[in-house]
Amino acid sequence: MSTVDFAAVTRALADAGQSFRFPAHGRSMRPFIHEGDVLTVAAADRVRRGDVVFLCKEDDHCLAHRVIRCYRNGHGMVAVRTQGDANGYPDPIAPWTAVVGRVVALERSGRIISLTEGPARWLGLGWACLAPLRRMGAWFVTRVRRVRHWLLQRRHRT
């Protein structure tokens, strides 16, 4: 199924009020969501910092990332800022219309794990709060790699 078709089907299911499941792809949500985990997405009537949302952008690129900030006005949710758990930098701000649903559970090795309550909810919230520190960590790792590369180049010149 193409990404355009996948985005259309998931939006249609969410608009009809139905939950849907799909296997996760990629590594951006490690260590909490692994490639191959089956994610369950339900309607996004309420989204909070730390929740994992499934969203489809204007180019029909869909992803499931953690909410690190909610933007509201007097009438409700306007936009969200998300970030993959393994990513050092946040995604661009997404309008609320891009949010298809909220990831409420994942299935791994036959076991279903709720992401909306219990330890997984608190771990997700803590991880979202650490987003600025992860940015600094990514900056630091990049600088260390540059210095290491520079040192290796100097060693090979001599």
Q: What pLDDT does residue 99 have?
A: 93
Mean pLDDT of the chain: 87
Q: What pLDDT does residue 138 have?
A: 61
42 or 123, which is more confident:
42
Comparing 81-85, 123-127, 144-148, which segment has the lowest mean pLDDT? 144-148
Q: What pLDDT does residue 137 have?
A: 61
**CB–CB of 89/95 below 8 Å?**
no
Find, among 78, 80, 72, 89, the residue nearest to 131 by Cα: 89
pLDDT > 70? residue 71: yes
Give the pLDDT band (50/70/90) at residue 59: confident
pLDDT > 70? residue 49: yes
The values of phi and psi at residue 117, to 5°, are: -150, 165
Q: 145: which 2 tokens?
A: 């790699």
Name the percent of the chain lying above pLDDT 90: 46
pLDDT tens digits, one per residue of 81-123: 999 988 888 999 999 999 999 999 999 999 999 998 888 888 8
Alpha-carbon gap, residue 56 to 108, rounded angstroms: 24
Which H or E element spans position 62? strand 62-73
Q: What pLDDT does residue 95 have?
A: 93
**CB–CB of 49/69 below 8 Å?**
yes
- Give the CATH number of domain 3-131: 2.10.109.10
Name the percent of the chain lying above pLDDT 70: 94
pLDDT > 90? residue 67: yes
What average pLDDT does the segment 44-55 reach? 91
